[in-house]
């Protein structure tokens, strides 16, 4: 059975395309509405694939495991919106009720990051700020006993979420994710409406 086709909702100068899967049913959310305070940056340990195939494989893998996700990016600069950022998705144990998550297509944490993928991430950062009030900064979190607490809203690695909740079983998105470049690229997009020259 063929996968449902997404709708392209943005084609941004500088190599970013945004694809809307939200009405396709490809990866349903796990529950009702939440108030996202942090965006969790992940990698799915799935290799980059031609076109949008990697997004389709990711959706199938997560769905089979009873998991879900709000968004994803790939090295070509594509963004997939699977669910609204305020829909509950099981994507970060200990933080699901206060977070939205993004899987950045990588097979491992040492795989190089393309500028296009970091810009795709930056587009999601500014979108999360504009639509849900998640600031363009690294979050401050605490926690323990299986849950995180959010001290300052923002963006956080899956590794930090796992450590704060007491699981210590994640290392993503890895050292190549350039937090400062993503923040600056998000500000650049907010100012210019594109990523060309960023």
Cα-to-chain-centroid distance, residue 49: 18
Tokens 């990523």 belong to which residue? 195
Written as tens digits, the pLDDT of the chain (198 aa) is: 566 789 999 999 999 999 999 999 999 999 999 999 999 999 999 999 999 999 999 999 999 999 999 999 999 999 999 999 999 999 999 999 999 999 999 999 999 999 999 999 999 999 999 999 999 999 999 998 999 999 999 999 999 999 999 999 999 999 999 999 999 999 999 999 999 999
Q: Note whether 38 and 96 are within 8 A (CB).
A: no
3-state secondary structure of 86: coil
Domains and CATH numbers, the chain: 7-191 (3.40.80.10)
Q: DSSP labels for 16-68?
A: EEEEE-TTTTSS--SSSB----EEEEE--S----STTHHHHHHHHHHHHTT--
Note the pLDDT of residue 2: 62
Other Cβ atoms within 10 Å of 9 Cβ, number: 12
Q: What pairing do the DSSP bridges indicate for beta strands 71-73 and 147-152?
A: unpaired
Q: Note whether 98 and 150 are within 8 A (CB).
A: yes
């Amino acid at each position: 059975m063929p996968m449902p086709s997404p709708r392209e909702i943005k084609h941004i100068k500088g190599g970013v395309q945004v694809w809307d899967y939200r009405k396709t049913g490809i990866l349903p959310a796990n529950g009702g509405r939440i108030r996202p305070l942090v965006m969790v940056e992940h990698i799915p340990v799935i290799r980059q694939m031609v076109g949008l195939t990697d997004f389709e494989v990711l959706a199938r893998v997560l769905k089979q495991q009873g998991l879900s996700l709000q968004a994803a990016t790939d090295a070509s600069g594509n963004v997939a919106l699977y669910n609204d950022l305020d829909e509950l998705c099981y994507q970060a144990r200990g933080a699901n009720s206060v977070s939205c998550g993004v899987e950045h297509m990588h097979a491992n944490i040492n795989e190089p990051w393309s500028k296009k993928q970091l810009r795709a991430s930056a587009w999601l950062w500014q979108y999360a700020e504009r639509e849900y009030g998640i600031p363009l900064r690294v979050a401050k979190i605490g926690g323990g006993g299986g849950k995180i607490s959010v001290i300052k809203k923002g963006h956080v690695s899956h590794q930090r979420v796992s450590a704060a909740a007491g699981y210590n079983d994640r290392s993503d998105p890895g050292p190549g994710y350039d937090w400062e470049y993503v923040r600056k690229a998000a500000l650049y997009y907010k100012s210019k409406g594109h990523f060309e020259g960023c």
